[in-house]
Structure formats: C-alpha cells, structure tokens
Chains A and B, each alone.
Chain A
Amino acid sequence: MTVQVLFFGATADIAGKRLIEVDLPDDSKASDVLERLIADHPRLDNHRLHLSVNQEFANGDKSLNDGDELAIFTAVSGG
C-alpha cells in the first residue's frame, strides 16, 4: 500500500520537502512510517514528534490503510 506523508515547519525543513509517498507492507502502522523517516532523516529524532492520520491526531500503533494521509510535525505553536 501507499500512504502520503506531509511535513510542516521544522519537519519540512529537515526532510527538505513537504510531501512524499511511502510504500509499505499491508499491515503497517504509523510507527513503521516514523521509523523509516527517522532512518532517512536522523535529525527528526532530535524533536518530539506528533503524528496525525487522515487529519486526526494518532499514536504510533494506529493501523494504516492504502491512501491514508499521514502528517509528522513538532508540538504545535500557534497563537
């Protein structure tokens, strides 16, 4: 299956892009994506990262489906 991964702010700067597609085995979880991204971009690991799946906050154990939209970002700082 394929999922889209979005980056914002600090994570976009580290990844050097705002959107990638990731191919995964069928029974993957959000944490599998995170591990792969940290392997590709080790500086991500210097931050406390938050995940969303399909625009809802999610934990690493969230199961993924084909076409899901993941986002990875640091603690939000609006206001």
Chain B
Amino acid sequence: MTGQASNMDFFELTTEPIDLSSVARRVVPPECGATVTLDGYARQFTKDKTTGEVHETDHLVYEAYEPMALKEMQKLIERVKAEFEISNVGIVHRLGRLEIGETSVVISVAAPHRKAAFAACEWLIVELKRTVPIFKKEVYSDGERWIEGDGAA
C-alpha cells in the first residue's frame, strides 16, 4: 500500500525487500545539503526488558492495520515538517516474514542542513514506534511472541 503526501514525500507498506539507497535518493531535492537515513533491521538477539533474559530470534513477522497505519504515517510526515527545518521525508515499512538482518523500516529525511535532518529522523522513529499500528512477532526456535511496545498512543 502506498500513500502520497505533498511534493516528494512518501510513505509505504511493502512485503518486498526494501532498497535502502533508492528510498534515500527519492527524497533528495536540489536545495538540500544532507539526507539522513535510518536503516532499521531484524535483530538476532533481544534482551527482554522485564526479565533481562536474552532471546535468540529465528525470524520476525510484521503485520499492520494497513489503512490506519498509512493514515498515521501521513500524520507523522505532516507533524515532522511543521516542527523541523526539513524538505522531504520518505518512510517505508516492511510487512510479512523477515529474516535476521533484513531491513524492516527505512526513514529518509532530506534537509538543507544535517542537524535538522538528524533530529527529525530520530523524532520520526520514536513516534512511528509509538503511534503507527504495526505489530512485530519474534519467532524463536522454541516458540514465538508478539512484542508490545512501551509507548501509549
């Protein structure tokens, strides 16, 4: 599923592997001096936040409430562009089964100056993890678990 914000912004959900550099290139306008790109990917070892126990993940499964997720992604782009001195934003989140090391989310922010791009990219991943209805399941050799985020939307 794909959504279109203004001009060069975009937000998408996909079950196909994400090409990091093509996401980063799509946000670049001529007036910009820097693009900051976050590559979030499937981690092999996860420490349980309450027990401290370390789980070894075999693979991940992501699912989304797709129409609401796209609406929330569009809201994030509107909010981040009102808040920071940036030009364009692209967000692509993978769904379905992901092997360890595969990219789950890419956020690219282009800005005239890098400082705003770093700050906006950090803000976007924090808010995405708090508000966009996407759900991650960690599958282990001996079981599986849906991960519940810390943030209340």
| A53–chain B nearest beta-carbon distance, Å | 10
CB contacts (< 8 Å) of A74 on chain B: these are 135, 146, 148
Alpha-carbon separation in the docked complex, A59 to B146 (Å): 23
B residues near A55, Cβ cutoff 8 Å: 65, 67-68, 71
B134–A76 contact, CB under 8 A?
yes
Interface string of A62-79 (1 = CB under 8 A from B): 000000000101111111
Interface residues of A in 19-77 (CB under 8 A from B): 47-48, 50, 52, 55-57, 71, 73-77
Provide the residues of chain B in CB contact with A50, threshold 8 Å: 152-153
| Residue among A47, A52, A79 making CB contact with B105, cutoff 8 Å | A79
Binds A, one of B4-12, B21-29, B113-121, B122-130: B122-130
Classify the interface of chain A: helix, strand, loop or mixed.
mixed
Chain A residues with Cβ under 8 A from B104's Cβ?
A: 78-79
Docked Cα-Cα span, A78 to B136, in Å, equals 6
Residue tally, chain B, CB below 8 Å to A: 31
Interchain CA distance A29-B99 in the complex, whole Å: 41
**CB <8 Å contact, B136 and A8:** no
Chain A residues, Cβ within 8 Å of B129 = 76-79
Give Cα distance in the complex from A58 to B40, angstroms.
Answer: 29
Q: How far is the CA of A74 from the CA of B151 in the complex (A)?
A: 10
Give the distance in Å from the alpha carbon of A74 to the alpha carbon of B131 in the complex: 11
In the complex formed, the residue of A with least CB distance to B94 is A78
Considering the chains assembled together, what is the distance between the CA atoms of A33 and B65 in angstroms? Answer: 19
**B68 near A78 (CB under 8 angstroms)?**
no
Most buried by B among A10, A48, A56, A77: A77
A-B contact pairs, 19 of them (CB 8 A): A6-B65, A9-B63, A10-B146, A10-B148, A56-B68, A57-B131, A74-B146, A75-B149, A75-B151, A76-B129, A76-B132, A76-B134, A76-B149, A76-B153, A77-B134, A77-B146, A78-B62, A78-B128, A78-B129
Q: Which residues of B contact A (CB under 8 A)?
A: 40, 62-65, 67-69, 71, 93, 104-105, 125, 128-137, 146-153
